[in-house]
Amino acid sequence: MSLNQTIVQHLKRIRRYMSFFEWPEKQIKELTVLRYLLESMCKDGDRRYHSPHSSQQDPPDCIAYTEVGDMVGIEVTELVSETAIRENQKGNEIYRDWRPAEVTARIGELLQTALLHEDLSKQVVSEAHSFYTVRR
């Protein structure tokens, strides 16, 4: 493959929407997103989690600790609107404003799907992770 073909192939894979957190290594991307979240929570006076790091085994994506030192497994996910993505890729800049009830419902769907996954259920029970938290 020529250099031009390689560049074109790479450009085709570049995310054309919300690329701020895009990173080739999934663990670095997830940890960075979590660090931003915890920093934001801290600015709001919420210091319930600290010392985040990538998990050696996925799931969970990351691990942090509570104020009393309990280990917590954290899954990092992105809520996206496929319609908004398609429109933005066409050059129509639109923003999907998620309402709190929609966020809660979507996270519930994601958790239900994850907990139905046999391997995840076994791991959650067998690992030392205390609980999963969804911050609204």
Residue 34: inside a domain: yes
Is residue 133, in this structure, part of any structural domain at all?
A: no
- 4 falls within a domain: no
Burial (0-12, 13-18, 19+ Cβ within 10 Å), 97: exposed
Tell me the whole-structure pTM to 2 decimals.
0.64
Our count of domains for the chain comes to 1
The answer to whether residue 2 is domain-embedded is: no
Q: What is the DSSP string of the chain?
A: --HHHHHHHHHHHS--SSGGG--SSHHHHHHHHHHHHHHHHHHTT--SEEEEEE-SSSSSSEEEEETT--EEEE-------HHHHHHHHTT--------HHHHHHHHHHHHHHHHHSHHHHHHHHHS---------
| Residue at 94 is within a domain | yes
pLDDT tens for each residue of the chain, 136 residues long = 777 677 766 556 555 555 656 677 889 889 998 999 999 999 999 999 999 999 988 778 899 999 999 999 898 887 878 888 888 888 888 888 888 898 888 888 877 877 666 555 444 443 444 444 444 3
Range of the domain at 70: 19-126
